[in-house]
Each structure stands twice: as structure tokens, then as C-alpha cells.
Structure 1
């Protein structure tokens, strides 16, 4: 269940109450007249089934509450109520399968922004990769995968493509197109200093190592990227964020970027090129699979919403 709170201009409150009271997926309706100060208006609250959230929010936006008032959603961890159970039962579809599109846009939109925090995490991840490469430490490489923040913009690109939000696509693509080169340049300086001080040795790249999978491109590179992208978007849209950790340590985006820098500094150009190709395959594969999953979920949700009436009658 989700808790919905709206700030409604007085002249629209009756229509808001009508929308919520007639919807099968809404319950626990509360009206606080004149309670809102900024913006001024009435506060209307309700608990809604996750499956109904998208339809209800669309209705509230049609009333203009996103411009003249306000709409907020919060996750309810526990709801002990027969009315809440009935609302979830009557709502179309299943809660685990429901996508709250405005919530998805908000999450991916926030994570797609190019800012100091994003650049810092991406840079630290690439530098961790550099250390992992020269020490042959697969554990350090896994740590770099977890630290890397690149899935946010990749998911945002997929969401923007499916929902035709080209502003989101441009912003997320810019974060990736600027973020990776900046992180790689800083890692380059880090690697040069390491080589000059004798910490990074060309011999560290020679021979067989546990981290050689980073630059070795093959069919499994694309397969893993596709599976990770699909799992990541499924996790993101079903609010099961714990699964995202598995996605982070499946794809070799950040490790490929870091390995390419180390290989270039140590004049291992074959491995550098292989790492760059690996990076591109992972980026494209994740976005493609995430977009396909999102399209399938959108189609399935639309079908489910037409199978049951949304209003009480």
C-alpha cells in the first residue's frame, strides 16, 4: 500500500474526493479542510493500492493538482485494515507487478543528474578498479562494481526512451558521456603517479589473472549485460531494490573503464581496446534490455487495468 497526500484548492476538493471515493483501489479517505498553508488549500489523504497509484495520480494531474496544489506518495510498511485488504484485492493487477510511472520518473530523473556526487562515486570506482587490476584482486573489482553509480543514468535512458521523455534521455546520456571521461582522466593521473612511484608495474598485467575477464570480450559479455539490464529494471520498477546489488556486481562497465586506463598507461593497447569494447557492449546491452522489460511491463499493466473496473459501482 501507498499513502497519498494531496493539497487541493478548495474549488477542486470535491472532485478530488469524488475521484478517490469512487476508485476501487483507494481507502482510508481523510479530509482536512483549510489545513494546507503553502500552497493554501485543503489536505486530502488516502491509502491506495500500488496497482492503482498510476491511474489515481493521472486523474489528480488531470485536475491540475500537480500545478495548483501538491501530490505526494509514501510507502506504507504495515497496514492492518480490512478496508486496505479489500482495496488491494479490488485493484487491477498485482502489487508486485505494478509500476508507478511518476515514481519511476522521479527516481530515475534524480539519479540521472550529472553532479559532484555522481562524478565522485564514478571516479572512486574507476580508481578502485585500477588498484584491483594491478594487484590482481577480484574482490577489489567487485567493490568497484558496487560503488559505481552508472546504473542510474542507464536506467534513466531506458525510461526516457520508452516514455518518450527526451529531456531525460539527454540528461542521462550527458551524465554518462561526461562522467566516464572525467573519471577515466582522473584515474589516468592516479595510474601515472602509481607507475612513477613503482606501485603500478606493467608486469602486473601480464600472464593469467582473475580479472582478465574485464577485457576479454565474447558472447557472454552481451548476455550478462542483457540479463543484468533486465533484472535491474525489474528491480527498479517493482521496488525490490535489494536485487540491484546483484546487478551492480554483474556488469563490467566501471571495471572496463578503469582497466582501459591502466592498460593504456602501461602500453597494453590490445587490452585497452578490449576493455573499451567491453564498456560499450555493457552500456548498450543494459539500456536495451531495460527498455524491453519496461515496455513489456507497461503493456502488461495496461492490459490488467482493462480487465477489472476501476470504479466502484
Structure 2
């Protein structure tokens, strides 16, 4: 028994020393992490950690990289949003100062009030688009889904947009599957889906030149292929189209096509892309009338088939 009483404490001591030596790199890693500043999202050094812990450190580095990209995107978005809001707010202030000058005539005051009205509408539209984009980005996994009739939603948006289209002398219409027909249903959020359709229609109205003598044409349609299990929303116009070099750029926040004087915040298409991603849909952009001038633009949103329809 005496040798065992001597060997047991010695064995425990050796095990403790081995464990302490083995976890020393982990302690050092913990100290390095604790010593970091809150805004330091650079990758951790995975060379000084045990081989068994290297996959964990690699996963943490991947998370840090994605967090860094997300924060950079948010910072850039906030900077762009502040810049976009600065212009109409500066216009409001300038027109208010002009209206308050002594000796301002009635006509000058009326023009200043009209400019104030236009600037306030632009600022309100930008804020609403920012809120819509934030709502689409923040929907996440918990998005409320229910059976939605895409044809009915598209017709409602077209009906609501008719007065604005008439003001610009644009022939706006719907051409596609009837509400309630087979294949027009999908599982999604009706509020977000209407926002998607509305932004595509508004974008087409904004960028389609039109005059009383030569009205522009904007058409929304829903195509349902029950055999191929395809449900597609299309919005096409008779405008100048989008050059191939800019077709990816137009889906970036605040991007505006060069040479365009159309009203808009540059957020409509990013909202469309975000809502489509939430519903597992694909957004395509192509010429509506290839080989013609102007070629027009056709935005197509391809939705996955509903489970019941696909079965």
C-alpha cells in the first residue's frame, strides 16, 4: 500500500502538469481574445493553437469575416442613406430661406412652396424605401408565410398604380394568368410580395419615357406553368433598357443609371432582390424587345413551385 500512496499523488501531479501544459495555448488564445478591442474583427492566429482546436478557430475566423463584411455593408449603406437624405433636406432649407426673404413676390413664393413640396415628397419616398429595405432585410427566418395568389397581388398593384401612370401618359396594364387559376399560388408573405411588385412597376414607370403623342407601355404579367412547376412574375417596359454592363449594378443600393433624370431613390431594385431572396426566387433582367430601339427592359422573378402544386 505504501508504494501506491506514493505513486498516486505523483500520478495526479503529472496529469495536472500535462493538462496545464496542454491547455496553455487555449489560455493564451483566451487572453488574446479578451485583449481585443470591440471593433477588431480581424481573424485569429490559428498557428499557435493545438491541432484539435484549429477547426474551431477556423470557424470563428469565418464568422468574424462575415461579421466584418456585414458591418462594412451597413456602414456604407448608412453613409449612402445620409447622403441621399441630405440633398432633399438641403433643398427644403434653401427654398424656405428664399421664401422668407424680404420683397418676395407672390409668384416667387409659390415657386418656393412648390419646390418645398417636391423636396418633401422625395425625402418621404426615400425614407419609406429605406424602411421597406430594412423590413425586407430584417424579416429573417421568422417571415410569416401563407398561400398567396401572385396574379391577384399583381393586379392589385397595377390597379393602384394606374393614376400615377396616367399622369405620365403611360399605358399600364396586366397581361397574364387569371387570379385563382392553377399554378398562381405560392407560399410567401403577401405584404413583401406586393412591395416587390410595386417596386418593379414603379421602376418601370419612372424610367419609361412617355408623351401624349407617343405613350410609353408598361406591362405586368404572371406566367404559371403547371407542368414545369414554374411561377414567374414579369414587368416589362418600352424604355431605353439597361446596358449589359450595368445589369448587376442596378441592384446595388442607391445606384442610378447614368444619364437618367428619372425620379427615384435607387432603392427599389435592391428591395426587389432582397424580398426575392427571402422567398427563394431568382431575379433576371433582359431586353424586352431585343434588336429594336429602344429595347425596353424586362424584369423576371422566378419563384419556386408550391409544394402542393409540385406534388
Structure with the higher fraction of residues in helix conformation:
1
Q: Which has the greater radius of gyration?
A: 2
> Normalising by structure 2, what TM-score?
0.22
